[in-house]
Amino acid sequence: MEMTPEQAFIVRNLYLTALAPLVVMLSLYLSGRLPKWVMAVYGYSFLICAIGWEIWYTYGLVGGLPVTDRRAPAMSEAIPIHLNWVLTSLFDAAICVIALYLVWLVAGRKESAFERFRWPSLLVLLIVFVGQNVYVEYMIHDQVKPGWALSWAPLIPTGPWLNFVLFEINGRAITFQTQLPWVLMVPVFICLVRSCRGRYGEREMQTVVPN
């Protein structure tokens, strides 16, 4: 069975948004234009998102359905289950780096933005994290719609047992369980950034985007 145009778009978009940022990040890092601590944030964000919820969602480890039971067979052929969590975690890591960059811009391109996160920075993180996830949930609604049990995960401590519709967009539900990990990711990410800066140095981000 062939994929619908929307399903094909989702598959192409996942591969593009997962792999293109990886290529860009590696290219910038290997050319010496990306601070080591930023690359570390990217790498650790991948691990946190994978362990925090993506692996659990993919395999339906605790009280949930695996992704292969929640989407069309043609999509599972295009995105094998063992590759699914890798791609989704790479996409998540890219979102984290984009949010980091936007925090830096909002702070006037000052490194001090990462020493003490103020309300504008927190708001940027929350808007980026939750905003992109609302869009993702809207696009893949068939995989996460109410009625499909999604696994418990470390960053989804309430699991599938506490889930409700927050609001709807064109009849597509945006639910509490799918948004929760990105809300909790805000303080986790702040701690991650501070840790990476302290461990890997504080080389200025102006090396990435010259004034």
Closest by CA to 203, choosing from 56, 41, 45, is 41
186-197, pLDDT tens digit by residue? 999 999 999 999
Residues 6+ apart with CB under 8 A from 127: none
- Give yes or no for residue 76 having a pLDDT over 80: yes
Q: What is the mean pLDDT of residues 104-128?
A: 85
- Give yes or no for residue 38 having a pLDDT over 70: yes
134-143, pLDDT tens digit by residue? 999 999 988 8
- Structure tokens given for 143: 């995989």
Express as a percent the part of the chain with pLDDT over 70.
95
* Residues pairing with 175 in the sheet: 165
Report how far residue 48's alpha carbon sits from residue 93's, in angstroms, rounded to the nearest whole number. 9
Task: Provide the residue type at 58 as one letter.
Answer: T
pLDDT of residue 1: 67
160-201, pLDDT tens digit by residue? 999 999 999 999 999 999 999 999 999 999 999 999 998 887
Distances (CA, A) of 51 to 26, 136, 155, 204: 22, 19, 9, 30
Q: What is the mean pLDDT of residues 142-153?
A: 88
pLDDT of residue 210: 47
The whole model's pTM is what?
0.91
pLDDT of residue 118: 81
Instruction: Say how many C-beta atoms besides its own lie within 10 A of residue 123's C-beta.
Output: 13
In 3-state terms the chain splits into helix, strand, coil percentages (rounded to 5) of: 70, 5, 25
